[in-house]
Amino acid sequence: MSEPILTLVVDGLQVSGLASETILKVARENDIAIPTLCWLEGLSSLGACRLCMVEIEGSPKLHPACVTPIQEGMVVATRSERLHRYRKAIVELLFSERNHICAVCVANGHCELQDLAVQLGVDHIRFPGRSPQLAVDASHARFVLDHNRCVLCMRCVRVCGEIEGAHTWDVKNRGIRSLIVADFETPWGLSETCTGCGKCVQVCPTGALFEKGRPVAETHKKRPFLPYLMANRAREHR
Protein backbone atom coordinates (compact mmCIF):
# COMPACT_ATOMS: atom_id res chain seq x y z
CA MET A 1 0.00 0.00 0.00
CA SER A 2 1.56 3.28 -1.03
CA GLU A 3 1.51 6.17 1.38
CA PRO A 4 -1.40 8.54 0.87
CA ILE A 5 -0.67 12.01 -0.43
CA LEU A 6 -2.37 14.79 1.47
CA THR A 7 -3.04 18.35 0.44
CA LEU A 8 -2.96 21.33 2.74
CA VAL A 9 -2.57 25.08 2.72
CA VAL A 10 0.57 26.74 4.07
CA ASP A 11 0.64 30.53 4.15
CA GLY A 12 -2.10 30.59 1.57
CA LEU A 13 -0.27 28.27 -0.77
CA GLN A 14 -1.86 24.96 -1.78
CA VAL A 15 0.78 22.25 -1.18
CA SER A 16 0.90 18.49 -0.85
CA GLY A 17 2.98 15.91 0.97
CA LEU A 18 3.12 12.33 2.16
CA ALA A 19 1.06 11.48 5.23
CA SER A 20 4.20 10.79 7.25
CA GLU A 21 5.81 14.13 6.45
CA THR A 22 5.94 17.06 8.82
CA ILE A 23 4.75 20.60 8.24
CA LEU A 24 8.37 21.75 8.28
CA LYS A 25 9.41 19.34 5.53
CA VAL A 26 6.54 20.24 3.27
CA ALA A 27 7.03 23.96 3.89
CA ARG A 28 10.74 23.77 3.06
CA GLU A 29 10.05 21.85 -0.13
CA ASN A 30 7.85 24.74 -1.12
CA ASP A 31 10.43 27.37 -0.23
CA ILE A 32 8.52 28.55 2.79
CA ALA A 33 11.15 29.38 5.39
CA ILE A 34 10.34 28.59 9.01
CA PRO A 35 12.98 29.51 11.58
CA THR A 36 14.59 26.50 13.24
CA LEU A 37 17.45 25.90 15.62
CA CYS A 38 17.38 22.44 17.20
CA TRP A 39 16.17 20.80 13.98
CA LEU A 40 18.78 19.55 11.56
CA GLU A 41 18.22 17.40 8.52
CA GLY A 42 19.54 13.94 9.20
CA LEU A 43 18.91 13.97 12.96
CA SER A 44 15.84 12.97 14.94
CA SER A 45 13.46 15.85 15.62
CA LEU A 46 13.10 17.13 19.17
CA GLY A 47 10.57 19.93 19.01
CA ALA A 48 12.68 21.63 21.68
CA CYS A 49 13.62 25.13 20.51
CA ARG A 50 10.02 26.17 19.77
CA LEU A 51 11.10 28.52 16.99
CA CYS A 52 9.32 26.53 14.28
CA MET A 53 5.97 26.88 16.02
CA VAL A 54 3.15 27.55 13.57
CA GLU A 55 -0.55 28.28 13.80
CA ILE A 56 -3.04 25.71 12.59
CA GLU A 57 -6.54 26.87 11.80
CA GLY A 58 -9.03 25.58 14.34
CA SER A 59 -6.45 24.98 17.05
CA PRO A 60 -5.85 27.57 19.75
CA LYS A 61 -2.43 26.06 20.47
CA LEU A 62 0.77 26.57 18.54
CA HIS A 63 2.41 23.55 16.97
CA PRO A 64 6.11 22.84 16.36
CA ALA A 65 6.35 22.32 12.60
CA CYS A 66 9.33 19.94 12.88
CA VAL A 67 7.35 17.22 14.65
CA THR A 68 3.78 17.89 13.56
CA PRO A 69 2.63 15.57 10.76
CA ILE A 70 0.56 17.15 8.02
CA GLN A 71 -3.13 16.40 7.76
CA GLU A 72 -5.56 16.56 4.89
CA GLY A 73 -7.11 19.99 4.61
CA MET A 74 -4.88 21.53 7.25
CA VAL A 75 -4.52 25.30 7.05
CA VAL A 76 -1.18 26.43 8.39
CA ALA A 77 0.19 29.92 9.01
CA THR A 78 3.96 30.07 9.49
CA ARG A 79 4.00 33.82 10.03
CA SER A 80 1.93 36.10 12.18
CA GLU A 81 2.49 38.99 14.49
CA ARG A 82 2.08 36.63 17.44
CA LEU A 83 4.52 34.02 16.10
CA HIS A 84 7.04 36.73 15.34
CA ARG A 85 6.74 38.13 18.84
CA TYR A 86 7.26 34.72 20.43
CA ARG A 87 10.16 33.74 18.17
CA LYS A 88 11.90 37.00 18.86
CA ALA A 89 11.50 36.59 22.61
CA ILE A 90 12.80 33.01 22.47
CA VAL A 91 15.95 34.11 20.67
CA GLU A 92 16.41 36.88 23.23
CA LEU A 93 16.02 34.33 26.03
CA LEU A 94 18.83 32.31 24.47
CA PHE A 95 21.10 35.34 24.27
CA SER A 96 20.37 36.10 27.91
CA GLU A 97 21.03 32.55 29.09
CA ARG A 98 24.81 32.36 28.70
CA ASN A 99 27.69 34.57 27.58
CA HIS A 100 27.15 35.12 23.88
CA ILE A 101 29.63 37.81 23.01
CA CYS A 102 29.70 37.74 19.25
CA ALA A 103 32.60 40.13 18.85
CA VAL A 104 35.05 37.68 20.39
CA CYS A 105 33.48 34.47 19.11
CA VAL A 106 35.15 32.06 16.72
CA ALA A 107 31.82 31.60 14.96
CA ASN A 108 31.14 35.30 14.49
CA GLY A 109 29.53 35.71 11.11
CA HIS A 110 28.90 31.97 10.74
CA CYS A 111 26.56 31.44 13.64
CA GLU A 112 22.97 30.29 13.44
CA LEU A 113 22.01 32.14 16.62
CA GLN A 114 23.37 35.36 15.15
CA ASP A 115 21.52 34.65 11.89
CA LEU A 116 18.28 34.11 13.78
CA ALA A 117 18.71 37.45 15.50
CA VAL A 118 19.10 39.17 12.14
CA GLN A 119 16.25 37.21 10.59
CA LEU A 120 13.87 38.08 13.43
CA GLY A 121 15.02 41.66 13.87
CA VAL A 122 16.50 41.17 17.33
CA ASP A 123 18.55 44.34 17.77
CA HIS A 124 18.91 44.16 21.55
CA ILE A 125 18.14 41.77 24.39
CA ARG A 126 15.39 42.90 26.69
CA PHE A 127 16.28 40.43 29.44
CA PRO A 128 19.35 40.90 31.64
CA GLY A 129 22.08 38.39 30.92
CA ARG A 130 22.36 35.64 33.49
CA SER A 131 26.16 35.73 33.08
CA PRO A 132 26.89 32.26 34.41
CA GLN A 133 30.46 31.25 35.12
CA LEU A 134 31.05 28.37 32.74
CA ALA A 135 34.08 26.37 31.82
CA VAL A 136 35.88 25.98 28.52
CA ASP A 137 37.08 22.43 27.85
CA ALA A 138 40.16 22.62 25.64
CA SER A 139 41.53 19.23 26.65
CA HIS A 140 40.96 17.69 23.23
CA ALA A 141 43.85 17.81 20.80
CA ARG A 142 41.81 19.28 17.96
CA PHE A 143 38.56 20.61 19.38
CA VAL A 144 37.22 22.91 22.07
CA LEU A 145 33.90 22.96 23.96
CA ASP A 146 32.93 26.39 25.25
CA HIS A 147 29.82 26.11 27.42
CA ASN A 148 29.40 29.87 27.35
CA ARG A 149 28.19 29.68 23.76
CA CYS A 150 26.13 26.51 24.02
CA VAL A 151 22.38 26.80 23.34
CA LEU A 152 21.59 23.21 24.40
CA CYS A 153 20.11 22.33 21.00
CA MET A 154 21.30 18.74 21.49
CA ARG A 155 22.59 18.47 17.95
CA CYS A 156 25.97 17.22 19.22
CA VAL A 157 24.30 14.71 21.52
CA ARG A 158 22.14 13.41 18.70
CA VAL A 159 24.76 13.29 15.98
CA CYS A 160 27.15 11.46 18.29
CA GLY A 161 24.54 8.93 19.38
CA GLU A 162 22.47 8.55 16.24
CA ILE A 163 25.05 8.91 13.46
CA GLU A 164 28.47 8.19 14.91
CA GLY A 165 27.10 5.69 17.42
CA ALA A 166 29.53 6.74 20.12
CA HIS A 167 27.15 8.56 22.50
CA THR A 168 30.05 10.46 23.97
CA TRP A 169 27.86 13.46 24.74
CA ASP A 170 24.91 13.69 27.05
CA VAL A 171 23.48 16.25 29.42
CA LYS A 172 24.35 16.79 33.05
CA ASN A 173 21.74 18.15 35.48
CA ARG A 174 18.52 19.63 34.18
CA GLY A 175 16.74 22.91 33.53
CA ILE A 176 18.79 26.07 33.62
CA ARG A 177 21.71 24.09 35.13
CA SER A 178 21.96 21.72 32.14
CA LEU A 179 25.42 21.22 30.67
CA ILE A 180 26.73 19.11 27.81
CA VAL A 181 29.18 16.52 29.17
CA ALA A 182 31.37 13.80 27.72
CA ASP A 183 31.29 10.38 29.39
CA PHE A 184 31.34 10.81 33.18
CA GLU A 185 31.96 14.54 32.86
CA THR A 186 35.35 13.47 31.60
CA PRO A 187 37.58 16.12 29.99
CA TRP A 188 36.91 15.71 26.28
CA GLY A 189 40.51 14.87 25.51
CA LEU A 190 40.38 11.96 27.95
CA SER A 191 37.04 10.57 26.78
CA GLU A 192 37.22 6.86 26.11
CA THR A 193 34.24 6.85 23.79
CA CYS A 194 35.00 9.85 21.56
CA THR A 195 36.24 8.79 18.13
CA GLY A 196 37.43 12.28 17.32
CA CYS A 197 35.22 12.31 14.20
CA GLY A 198 34.30 15.94 14.66
CA LYS A 199 30.67 15.56 13.60
CA CYS A 200 29.53 17.34 16.74
CA VAL A 201 31.71 20.31 15.84
CA GLN A 202 30.26 20.48 12.35
CA VAL A 203 26.63 20.41 13.48
CA CYS A 204 27.01 22.87 16.37
CA PRO A 205 25.04 25.97 15.41
CA THR A 206 27.21 28.36 17.42
CA GLY A 207 30.79 28.68 18.57
CA ALA A 208 30.26 26.26 21.44
CA LEU A 209 32.11 23.49 19.63
CA PHE A 210 34.96 24.51 17.37
CA GLU A 211 38.22 23.44 15.84
CA LYS A 212 41.39 24.70 17.42
CA GLY A 213 43.67 27.03 15.53
CA ARG A 214 41.09 29.18 13.84
CA PRO A 215 40.94 32.81 14.88
CA VAL A 216 37.82 34.76 15.73
CA ALA A 217 35.18 34.73 13.02
CA GLU A 218 36.90 32.08 10.94
CA THR A 219 35.09 28.95 11.95
CA HIS A 220 33.10 27.69 9.01
CA LYS A 221 31.03 24.62 9.55
CA LYS A 222 30.14 21.97 6.99
CA ARG A 223 26.55 21.33 7.79
CA PRO A 224 24.95 19.63 4.79
CA PHE A 225 27.21 16.58 5.16
CA LEU A 226 24.60 14.71 7.18
CA PRO A 227 22.01 13.95 4.48
CA TYR A 228 24.84 12.89 2.18
CA LEU A 229 26.30 10.64 4.83
CA MET A 230 22.96 9.01 5.56
CA ALA A 231 22.14 8.39 1.94
CA ASN A 232 25.58 7.06 1.19
CA ARG A 233 25.60 4.83 4.23
CA ALA A 234 22.31 3.29 3.09
CA ARG A 235 23.83 2.63 -0.34
CA GLU A 236 27.04 1.13 1.00
CA HIS A 237 25.18 -1.21 3.32
CA ARG A 238 23.01 -2.58 0.56
Partner 1 sequence: MTMLRLATLWLDGCSGCHMSLLDTDERLLDLAAMYEFVHSPLVDSKHFPEAADVVLIEGAVSSHEDVARLRLARHHSRLLIAVGDCAVTGNVPALRNATGAAAMLRTVYLDQPALNPQIPATDLPVLLELALPLHHFVTVDLFIPGCPPGAETLLTALTGLAAGTVPGPPLSTRFGA
Partner 2 sequence: MHRDELRRRAAEHRLHLEGFAHHLLVCSSLGCAHNDALITALRRSVAERGMESRVLIRKTGCMGLCALGPLVAVQPEGWLYQHVRPEDADVVVASLGQQPSEQLLVPPDLPFFARQHKNVLALSGRIDPESLDDYLAAGGYAGLFAALDMRPAEVIRRIQESGLRGRGGAGYPTGLKWATVAKARGARKYIICNADEGDPGAFMDRSILESTPHAVLEGMIIAAYAVGACQGYIYVRAEYPLAVHRLKLAIRQAERHNLLGHAICGLNLDLAIQIRLGAGAFVCGEETALIESVEGRRGIPRPRPPYPAEKGLWGYPTLINNVETYANVGPIIDRGSRWFAALGTEASKGTKVFALTGKIVHTGLIEVPMGTTLREIVFDIGGGIPDGHGFKAVQTGGPSGGCIPAEHLDAPVSYESLSELGSIMGSGGMIVMDDTSSMIDIVKYFIEFCMDESCGKCIPCRVGTAQIHRLLTAFQERTATEADLAQLEMLCDLVKNTSLCGLGQSAPNPVLSTLRYFRQEYLDRISESRQPEDRP
Partner 3 sequence: MPTSAPPHPSGENRPWRSVDQAMQRHDYRPDALIETLHAAQDAFGYLDGETLAYIAAKLRLPPAKVFGVATFYNHFSHKPKGEHTLVVCTGTACHVKGTDRVLAWVRDRYGLLPGETTADNRLSLVEVRCVGACALAPVILTDGDVIGKRGVEETTAVIEEWLHHAP
Please state the closest distance from residue 211 (CB atom) to partner 2, in A. Answer: 27
* CA 206 – CA 156 distance, rounded (Å): 11
CA atoms within 13 A on the CB side of 196: 7
> With CB cut-offs between 5 and 8 Å by kind, which of partner 1, partner 3, partner 2, none does residue 124 bind?
partner 1
- Residue 18 or 67: which CB sits closer to partner 2? 67
Contacts with partner 2 by CB under 8 A: the residue count is 31
Residue 72 or residue 192: which is nearer to partner 3 going by CB?
192
State the Cα–Cα distance between residues 124 and 28, nearest whole angstrom: 29
Give the residues lining the site for partner 1 (CB under 8 A). 95, 99-105, 108-109, 114, 117-118, 121, 123-126, 128-129, 131-134, 217
The answer to whether the beta carbons of residues 197 and 180 sit under 8 Å apart is no
Give the nearer residue to partner 1 in terms of CB position, either 136 or 190.
Answer: 136
Q: What, of partner 1, partner 3, partner 2, none, does residue 89 touch, CB below 5 to 8 Å by kind?
A: partner 2
Which does residue 48 bind out of partner 1, partner 3, partner 2, none, counting CB within 5 to 8 angstroms by kind? partner 2
The site map against partner 2 for 55-94 (x = CB under 8 A) is ------xx-x--xxx----------------x--xx--xx
The least distance separating partner 1 from the CB of residue 9, rounded to whole angstroms, comes to: 29
Buried/exposed 217-228: b ≥16 CB within 10 Å, e otherwise: bebebebeebee
CA-CA distance, 185 to 141, in Å (whole number)? 17
Residues that bind partner 3 (CB under 8 A): 161, 166-174, 181-186, 192-193
What does the alpha-carbon distance between residue 182 and residue 194 come to, in Å, rounded to a whole number?
8
Name which of residues 109 to 138 contact partner 2 (CB under 8 A): 126-128, 130
Closer to partner 2 by CB, 49 or 117: give it: 49
Minimum distance, C-beta of residue 232 to partner 2, in the bound complex (Å): 28
Long-range Cβ pairs for the range 158-162 (8 Å, 24+): 158/40, 158/43, 158/44, 158/46, 159/40, 159/42, 159/43, 159/199, 159/200, 159/203, 159/226, 160/199, 160/200, 162/43, 162/44
